[in-house]
Amino acid sequence: MWVMRIKGKVADRLQPSMFSLPGRYKVANALMLKGAWLCCVLGGVVFGLPALLMMFLVSLWQREFRHDFPYGLVLGVTGLCLDTFWLHTGVLDYGAAAVALPLGFTLAPAWIVMLWLAVGLSIRHSLIFLVNRPLFGALLVGCGSPLSYLTGERFGAVVIPSMSGLMVLAAVWIVLFFAVFTWAKTRLTTD
């Protein structure tokens, strides 16, 4: 087969635990990612931080953290930069949740950065099927990103001044996640 498929390398390296059966940790990770999204969007840092800490602790417990860390770091920094950029260009408005710094500069809120970190902790686990197909994964994530922000708007977490800005956001996400999934696939096939 000309395409190298990456199997979830999680279950075969784990110590016996409640997550050690193939696929069980992927399902747990997917549920934690969805939970983190809800906690961050509905409760900001107050609810989002415990959800993200749970993901970090499970990654540590499963001895996956050193492998997950690069993805979390890259997506956390990228998310902070992108959402801050969207904030300053008027694509998104986080209102009072945005972090005001001296000299009038504003950063994206901490809860959105936590969501990016949660996605980073999921790349090698519940999102591995997208890593196997970087273009498909990028299109799926990119086209789904406006829906995620629109749902966040319905919950009052963000204001979207213009729908045309969401199309630009989606295009940037397609490029970004194609690069992330390709990077992850390359790293996982060389390990």
- Residue 190 confidence (pLDDT): 80
Taking residues 65-75, what's their average pLDDT? Answer: 95
CA torsion sign for 95, 73, 57, 177 is positive
Please report whether residue 15 resides in a domain.
no
**pTM of the entire predicted model:** 0.86
pLDDT, position 77: 98
Show Cβ contacts of residue 20 under 8 Å, excluding neighbours closer than 6 positions: 11, 14
Q: How many helices (H) and strands (E) does the chain have?
A: 6, 2
3-state helix, strand, coil in the chain (%, to 5): 70, 5, 25
* Span 75-99, pLDDT tens digits: 999 999 999 999 999 999 999 999 9
Distance CA 182, CA 94 (A): 31
Asked if residue 11 belongs to a domain, the reply is no
**E-assigned strands of 102-177?**
106-107
Span between the terminal Cα atoms of the chain, in Å: 20
Token pair 């996640």 is found at 177
Phi-psi group of 8: left, alpha or beta (phi > 0 → left; psi -120 to 50 → alpha; rest → beta): beta
pLDDT digit string, tens, across residues 105-122: 999 999 999 999 999 999
Contact 119, 127 (CB under 8 A): yes
Q: How confident is the model at residue 18 (pLDDT cuts 50, 70, 90)?
A: very low
* DSSP state, residue 93: B
- The answer to whether 10 and 125 have CB atoms below 8 angstroms apart is yes
Question: Does 149 map to a domain?
Answer: yes
What is the spatial distance between Cα 5 and Cα 133, in angstroms, rounded to a whole number?
Answer: 9
Give the chain's domain count: 1
Range of 173's domain? 22-190
Please report where in the chains the tokens 């415990």 appear, as a residue: 50
Q: Nearest 5 degrees, angle CA 111-CA 138-CA 56?
A: 40
